[in-house]
């Protein structure tokens, strides 16, 4: 039986740490373009209380999205011990391509995946580069596509990257700009013959995606600055936080339970939930609603903290990079009190622009790579 196994992971976090006090000199505006009268200090305190974000990472001006994607990709390739010329596909998840630090112009020609292939100096002309534009769930959707290609025997090894430089598409007059950050993560997914080891299914054992693209389509968009005098960029990420929060709490818990039900698994079988992180309050609320669907008491056994590792307080929302970065950190024992062991089953889930939701159930092999 061919199974889709993660054979290597990697990530890149920019060195520049931006703490919340960086925004003290900002002038935030409301939807009408008027300066918010509330003190900036109070705005930041409320923001931190809700999101738990204390700091985030911003990319240096000498780097582009494709650069940091290639850095994470190289680490994943080294970890996998697979020759780069044996990579059949490169799937690069992102939303804005390379954003010029001066003009703020977005560039996706050539594609990010082709640029990653070029930066890795892969000569194999049969290695096909695909870009995945799917909102924040893009890296997970890239993993889902890779799994399908492996299972159909169109490929043996696929490199999936998730990278974004959101610091270059934020409106400095929008208080929501404090959420976003930069980073990249990557994984190599390989077709592995597991017959000789176990009758259990390992690797990706189930996945699903849900796309509500009607009225929900414009919950997260691009638009001009709230300050009409700001001319640096006409493309700024815009978010209807209230609508996204309501959507997430309504749709995601049932989506996750449906994934587990379709694999005959119970929530108690899941060791970790790696969830996309933009707002800690929202993520905790999603998990609490999921627990209620299973009649779990989350107060008594510290379940929230044990099952759902959080990095948003340090890294902010790096979009498609969030989940693969979190995965690599845990695998390499870089997050206190969180470990993944052979045989463990994890659930990776994300939601974001459009609105799209997706998830993967993954069981770590008991055998060595």
Which band of pLDDT confidence, cut at 50, 70 and 90, is reported for residue 81? very high
Share the mean pLDDT of the chain.
94
- pLDDT higher than threshold 60 for residue 199: yes
Residue 145's alpha-carbon distances to 120, 207, 298, 333, in angstroms, are 22, 10, 34, 28
Residue 41's alpha-carbon distances to 49, 55, 140, in angstroms, are 12, 15, 36
Paired residues of 228 in beta bridges: none
Q: Where are the alpha helices (DSSP H) in 120-239?
A: 138-151
Give the mean pLDDT of 115-141. 98
- pLDDT higher than threshold 50 for residue 182: yes
Is the preceding omega at residue 185 within 30 degrees of 0, hence cis? no
Least confident range from 5-14, 221-230, 319-328, 359-368: namely 359-368
Which band of pLDDT confidence, cut at 50, 70 and 90, is reported for residue 330? very high
Give the mean pLDDT of 98-127. 96
Which band of pLDDT confidence, cut at 50, 70 and 90, is reported for residue 302? confident
pTM: predicted TM-score of the whole model, two decimal places: 0.95
For the record, the structure tokens of 17 come out as: 């740490």
Residues whose CB is less than 8 angstroms from the CB of residue 264 and which lie 6 or more positions away in sequence, other chains included: none
- pLDDT higher than threshold 60 for residue 195: yes
Contact 260, 266 (CB under 8 A): yes
CB atoms within 10 A of CB 59: 27
pLDDT of residue 367: 64
Give the mean pLDDT of 216-245. 92
pLDDT tens, residue by residue, 243-270: 999 999 999 999 999 999 999 999 999 9
Which band of pLDDT confidence, cut at 50, 70 and 90, is reported for residue 74? very high
Contact 5, 190 (CB under 8 A): yes
Residues whose CB is less than 8 angstroms from the CB of residue 168 and which lie 6 or more positions away in sequence, other chains included: 59, 96, 99, 100, 101, 104
pLDDT of residue 231: 82
Contact 141, 132 (CB under 8 A): yes
For the record, the structure tokens of 342 come out as: 């052979």
- pLDDT higher than threshold 80 for residue 369: no
Give the mean pLDDT of 266-288. 95
Give the mean pLDDT of 52-59. 97
N-term to C-term CA, the chain: 16
Query: Could you state, in order of their start, the residue ranges of all structural domains in the chain?
Result: 1-369
CATH tag for 1-369 (out of 3.40.47.10, 1.20.120.1200, 3.90.1150.10, 3.90.76.10): 3.40.47.10
For the record, the structure tokens of 87 come out as: 């990579």
Residue 70's alpha-carbon distances to 27, 98, 251, 255, in angstroms, are 36, 13, 34, 32
């Amino acid at each position: 039986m061919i199974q889709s196994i993660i054979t290597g992971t990697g990530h890149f976090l920019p060195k520049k740490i931006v703490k919340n006090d960086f925004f003290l000199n900002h002038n935030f505006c409301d939807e009408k373009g008027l300066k918010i009268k509330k003190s900036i200090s109070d705005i930041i305190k409320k923001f931190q209380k809700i999101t738990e974000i204390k700091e985030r990472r911003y990319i240096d001006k000498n780097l582009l999205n494709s650069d940091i994607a290639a850095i994470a990709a190289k680490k994943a390739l080294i970890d996998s011990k697979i020759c780069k010329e044996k990579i059949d596909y490169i799937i690069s998840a992102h939303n804005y391509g390379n954003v010029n630090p001066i003009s703020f112009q977005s560039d996706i020609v050539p594609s990010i995946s082709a640029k990653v292939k070029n930066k890795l100096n892969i000569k194999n002309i049969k290695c096909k580069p695909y870009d995945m534009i799917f909102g924040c769930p893009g890296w997970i959707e890239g993993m889902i596509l890779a799994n399908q290609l492996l299972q159909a025997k169109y490929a043996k090894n696929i490199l999936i990257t998730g990278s974004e430089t959101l610091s270059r598409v934020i409106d400095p007059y929008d208080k929501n700009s404090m959420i976003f950050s930069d980073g990249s993560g990557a994984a190599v997914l390989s077709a592995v013959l597991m017959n000789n080891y176990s009758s259990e299914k390992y690797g990706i054992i189930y996945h699903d995606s849900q796309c509500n693209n009607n009225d929900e389509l414009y919950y997260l968009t691009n638009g001009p600055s709230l300050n009409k005098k700001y001319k640096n960029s006409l493309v700024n990420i815009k978010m209807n936080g209230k609508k996204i929060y309501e959507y997430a709490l309504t749709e995601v818990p049932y989506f996750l339970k449906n994934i587990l039900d379709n694999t005959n698994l119970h929530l108690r079988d899941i060791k970790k939930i790696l969830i996309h992180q933009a707002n800690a309050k929202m993520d905790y609320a999603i998990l609490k609603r999921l627990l209620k669907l299973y009649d779990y008491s989350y107060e008594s056994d510290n379940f929230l903290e044990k099952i759902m590792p959080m990095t948003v307080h340090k890294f902010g929302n790096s979009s498609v990079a969030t989940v693969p970065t979190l995965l690599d950190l845990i695998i390499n024992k870089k997050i206190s009190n969180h470990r993944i062991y052979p045989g463990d089953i994890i659930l990776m889930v994300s939601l974001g622009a459009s609105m799209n939701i997706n998830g993967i159930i993954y069981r770590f092999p008991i055998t060595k790579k």
